[in-house]
Amino acid sequence: MIIDIIIFTVCLAAMIIASIHDIKTREVPDWLNYSLIFSGFSIRLIYSLITSDWWFLLYGIAGFAALLGIGLIMFYAGQWGGGDSKMIMGLGALLGIDFMHYQTLFAESMLIGFFINMLFIGAAYGLLWSITMAAARWKGFAKEFSSIRKTKKFMLTQRVSWIIILAVLVSLFFLPDQTFRMILITFAFMLLLLLYLWPFVKSVENICMYKMVTPDKLTEGDWIAEDINVAGELICSPKDLGIEKKQITKLIKLAQKGKIQEIRIKEGIPFVPSFLISFVITLIWGNLLVLLI
């Protein structure tokens, strides 16, 4: 349908522009995200007015609501920035969820297929990006990785994990059910993977994701790494979940007075390109989980 072509074209154009911005600046412009949300509702409203098919608009509202919830969860969990979360909301409004045909929703919904694909592709993308950053700063990463593995917390976790893994392996000799044995093997493998993935991710974060910037280089949504106190007043902190414009203005004024110089911020992985890759794959092959099943 022509309306589908319009929607997919808008989605692709927005994600291409956002990916370029995200890679260059680690930010997705608000004007782009709000335009995407506005476009989603506008396109669906105009189509509904022309065809008198009001379900089409309701599907967009449902898609927006669903990804609004997911975006908020990911934002407050510290996995996505505000720009990533807003973009996913706009895509929800554009793609929509055809909840009236719930029997085929999982297999045929473009939005659900995109989201499922994004989970797998996003994880692989994040891991590859982290490996690239670790390789670029190998000496610092290797030292930090070794240091984390020597902490009491990690060593205790390692002992407990290996006891659980060994217990699982021993239990396999006493379990006749093949399916249950496969579940236990998968569990043991995942536990072993997480045991070494955690210090890897933490090392990449500590060595590769922090930098010092002057207040005039800050942008809304930047993650402050440390509490900024001036004359007993807390200006901003990591608990803010992204710095606000009024805080940046105050920091710039303090810098002009010579009271502060640089701010330590945390840079995340630019995740929007993984949205773009997932969307293109969904357009070509659909829901990858359905194909595997």
Q: What is the pLDDT of residues 194-205, one digit of tens each?
A: 888 889 989 998
Highest mean pLDDT among 30-44, 168-182, 244-258: 30-44
> What pLDDT, in 10s, does the model give residues 45-76?
999 999 999 999 999 999 999 999 998 888 77
Residue 78 and residue 242 in contact, taking contact as beta carbons nearer than 8 Å: no
> What pLDDT, in 10s, does the model give residues 77-97?
767 878 888 999 999 999 999
In the predicted structure, residue 173 carries a pLDDT above the cut 90: no
* pLDDT band (50, 70, 90) for residue 285: very high
At 104 the pLDDT is: 75
Distance CA 278, CA 110 (A): 11
In the predicted structure, residue 286 carries a pLDDT above the cut 80: yes
Residues 47, 49, 50: CA angle, nearest 5 degrees: 65
State the first-to-last Cα distance of the chain, in angstroms, to the nearest integer: 28
> Six-digit token pair at 146?
């070794």
At 293 the pLDDT is: 67
At 125 the pLDDT is: 94
Distance CA 140, CA 208 (A): 9
pTM: 0.81
Return the axis-axis angle of helices 110-136 and 272-285, rounded to nearest 10°: 140
